[in-house]
Chains A and B, each alone.
Chain A
Amino acid sequence: MASGLIFWRAQAYSLAWLWQDWVVLLCVYWILAALLRSWRSWPFVTAVWMAALLAIYSVVQIPLTFAALRLDAP
């Protein structure tokens, strides 16, 4: 299912954009989780993946949030 979703996103959007697509990132995580969960460093991999997703979210929302907190704005 995860592979199918990645294939769908690859068909629908440009390959250059896929690395920053949260759906693709989540599906890759899903596949890796199936293969590598027993690996000793898996908790670190999870943290890296969540950090990447947090970055994807924050790059849009943090500037908006800071703008909203500027109470000297009109």
Chain B
Amino acid sequence: MIPGVAALLVANGAVLLAARRLLEPLKTGKPAVDVLLFLLLRTLLISSVVLAAGFARILTPLGMGLVGGVGFGILVILKRPRPVRPPLPLPWHPWLIAAAILVLLKLLVQVWIFAPYAGDVVTYHLPKIAEWIRAGGFTRELGANARVTLPAGFELLDTWWVVFLHHDVLIEMAGVELLLIASAAVYALGREVGLTPSPALTGALLFAATPGLQVEATAALNDGAATAMTLATAALIVARAGLPLILLPLALGLGIKPTTAYAFPGLVLLAVLWRREPTLPPAPRKVALSVAVLALAVGAVWYVRNLLWYGNPIYPMGTELGRQVQQFGPSLASLGENLTTLVNVRIRDFFPVGALHTGNANWGAVVLACGLPALIDWMRDDSRIRRLALAGAVSTVCVLTLVTPDPWNMRFILFVPALPGLAAARAAAANRFLAPLVVLAALLCLTSSIRPSELSASDLRRLAGSGWRERSARPSRPAGMDEASVGCLGGNVSAYWLYDPDYSRGVVYFREATAAALVERMDREGLRTLVVSPDLTDGATLREAVESGALVEHSDAWGRTYRRVR
């Protein structure tokens, strides 16, 4: 474990140094924008390194540790003397720093205690990471769920936090660093529209306290990451950065989640509405273009892979699977239903806050109680805020027009709380009556996101009480889990839990259509246990295998599993 931790530290040090070197020629002269660019460059470098290591099949603690060590050494040797830098462009107000530390501590405790628990994460986001880590590189096998082929830009960042330790105890750190990027983007937006550092930082903290973003950050889900890239794009547009720099978060966002594109019309409108504002000094062309090309490559790799493997860059979107996985194209009916449920139900968060946003907007009390009235005042005062709000509204409407009305789709518009957060901070700075209300609302936001609804109280007790090496959110160990490998049939299995937190167990995915082929492959692979998707347990294949005496059924808290009988 100690070599893994050392490799993690060295590699992170190398990436930080490299991002700082890369930032030097791209500096804009605006500290808030520079901090955002630094964080984006770091994300780009991590994504690129994991991608390269995956293709080169050195995605191992030793391989990545050596890459990190060599990179760190080179960067230290090449270090040039630098002029004394000003400190971070933050207001060092004690209460704000205390609030920032409180938010960060809450997230870090959750990172430590939580293990991947959300259904989407354990069925289709993370099984591919487990395969990569076990194989030491990218694999054709990604898992059995239909959605495993969706772009995996966020999974690259997850991989960064598990590869060195060969363990998933820190996997939620990827979400925390993306929430940091989102908050930096909100801070930069606040500074660009004229807020002084204190209200801008307060706005960023209020945004970071949004319940939906808090649970997203520690659930290994990619919606918070997509939100970060949307807001970073908006911040760079408002700062009037050049197109190559704007492409950096835009391309990374597309590689994280294709639905980030649904917000593009609002971002284009923002660029049009902001075209008369003064531009930043142009970045050196070669460096900026290199960064943009690398970001486009990192973002596009999943679409190219899907085109090569399936002939469709956005597989399985469309009808390849015999049904639509997500709505295809705009629908006014969807817009009407999504808007109605948002206004009448979801914005009030009638349900417990959860990572999958079931039934809720999860924008929290700050947005509804303080942010919206404050935004009305701000829009009356400042035409730039009217333009920003219009662009945000267009993005929101576009997203709601393009997504299926379902209980979970509010996670696609988690960028909305940014502007109300800044507005609430500005109002609290100007009106002494408001500060206690804003603090109360923010505390409610943070408190409501302590235990996500997907984790029961007993789950949380069990997670907190177990040692980190064996910490897993799965309900129980399926029968037969003392084996080196287990079989998995069907796509609706929480397959990630089968690997164990240290990826010590192999999972063999079955796609056989007949009982004879299934049993023959189990024997060939030396498997004794088959974990089966709940929708397949009554299927003809399994029934035939059980009736022939080749398999016996076993039920427990996990669900139904099958044991091979010889």
- Residues 339-350 of chain B, each 1 if its beta carbon lies under 8 Å from chain A, else 0: 000010001111
Interface pair A71/B460, CB less than 8 Å apart: yes
Contact A71:B348 (CB < 8 A) given known A50-B434, A51-B437, A53-B373 = no
* Interface members, chain B 413-464 (any A CB < 8 Å): 427, 430-434, 437, 440-441, 444, 447-448, 450-451, 453, 456-458, 460-461
For A29-62 the 0/1 string (1 means CB < 8 A from B) is 1100110010000011011011101101110111
Residues of chain A within 8 A of B377, CB atoms compared: 33, 37, 46
Q: Select one of A23, A44, A50, A68 contacting B451, CB under 8 A.
A: A68
Q: Are B352 and A23 in contact (CB under 8 A)?
A: no
Let me know if A50 and B369 touch, CB within 8 A.
yes
Q: Are A44 and B433 in contact (CB under 8 A)?
A: yes
Contact B444 A62 (CB under 8 A): yes
User: In chain B between 385 and 435, which residues have their CB closer than 8 angstroms to a CB of chain A?
Assistant: 427, 430-434
Q: Which of A47, A56, A58, A64 contacts B434 (CB 8 A)?
A: A47
The residue from A34, A50, A57 contacting B349, defined by CB atoms under 8 A apart: A57
Q: Does B351 contact A (CB under 8 A)?
A: yes
**CB of B232 within 8 A of chain A?**
no
- Cα distance, A30 to B437, chains bound together (Å): 19
Q: How large is the interface on B (under 10, 10 to 19, 20 to 34, 35 or more residues)?
A: 35 or more
B376 & A54 in contact (Cβ 8 Å cutoff) = no
B247 at the interface (CB under 8 A from A): no
| A49 contact set on B, CB distance < 8 A | 373
In the bound complex, do residue A23 and residue B448 qualify as a contact, i.e. CB atoms below 8 Å apart? no
Residue in B376, B427, B453, B456 with the greatest tally of chain A CB atoms within 10 Å:
B376
When A50-B434, A69-B450 are in contact, do A61 and B365 touch as well, CB less than 8 Å? yes
How many A residues touch the partner, as a band?
A: 20 to 34
Contacts of A54 in B (CB 8 A): 365, 368-370, 437, 440-441
| Alpha-carbon distance A68/B343, docked complex (angstroms) | 25
Would A46 and B434 count as touching, CB distance under 8 A? yes
- B22 within 8 Å of A by Cβ? no
Whether A69 lies near B431 (C-beta < 8 A) is no
Question: Does A7 count as interface, using CB distance less than 8 angstroms?
Answer: no
User: Does B380 count as interface, using CB distance less than 8 angstroms?
Assistant: yes
| Residues A57 and B450 in contact in the complex (CB < 8 Å), given A49-B373, A50-B434 | no
Q: Work out how many contacts link A and B, with CB atoms closer than 8 A.
A: 108
Q: Is A14 in contact with chain B by the CB < 8 A criterion?
A: no
Contact flags B197-222 to A (C-beta < 8 A → 1, else 0) = 00000000000000000000000000
CB-nearest residue of chain B relative to A29? B373
- Bound-state Cα–Cα, A50 to B453, Å: 27
Q: Tell me, yes or no, whether B108 is within 8 Å of chain A by CB.
A: no
- Bound: A69/B461 CA distance, A: 11
How far is B130's CA from A15's CA once the two chains are assembled, in angstroms? Answer: 56
| Contact for B433 among A46, A62, A69, CB less than 8 A | A46
B437 contacts across to A, CB distance below 8 A: 47, 50-51, 54
B376 surroundings in chain A (CB, below 8 A): 26, 29-30, 33
The answer for the CA separation of A56 and B444 in the assembled complex, in Å, is 13
Q: Is A43 a contact of B365 with CB atoms below 8 Å?
A: no
Nearest residue (CB) in A for B461 is A71
Q: Is B325 an interface residue (CB 8 A)?
A: no
Q: Would you call A74 an interface residue if the criterion is a C-beta within 8 Å of the partner chain's C-beta atoms?
A: yes
B372 in contact (CB, < 8 A): yes
Q: Does A65 contact B (CB under 8 A)?
A: yes
A11 → chain B, closest Cβ, in Å? Answer: 14
Contact check, B457 vs A72: say whether CB atoms are below 8 A apart.
yes
Contact among B380, B433, B434 with A33 in the assembled complex (CB-CB below 8 Å): B380
Q: Does A73 interact with chain B (Cβ within 8 Å)?
A: yes
State whether B433 touches A47 (Cβ < 8 A).
yes
Contacts beyond the supplied A47-B437, A60-B348: 12 A-B pairs with Cβ under 8 Å: A26-B372, A26-B376, A46-B374, A46-B433, A49-B373, A51-B437, A56-B348, A57-B348, A68-B451, A69-B447, A71-B457, A73-B457
The 9 closest A-B pairs by CB, nearest first: A47-B433, A54-B369, A53-B369, A73-B457, A43-B431, A65-B448, A68-B451, A57-B365, A64-B352
Selected A-B contacts with CB under 8 Å, 6 pairs = A46-B373, A46-B427, A49-B373, A57-B349, A65-B444, A69-B447
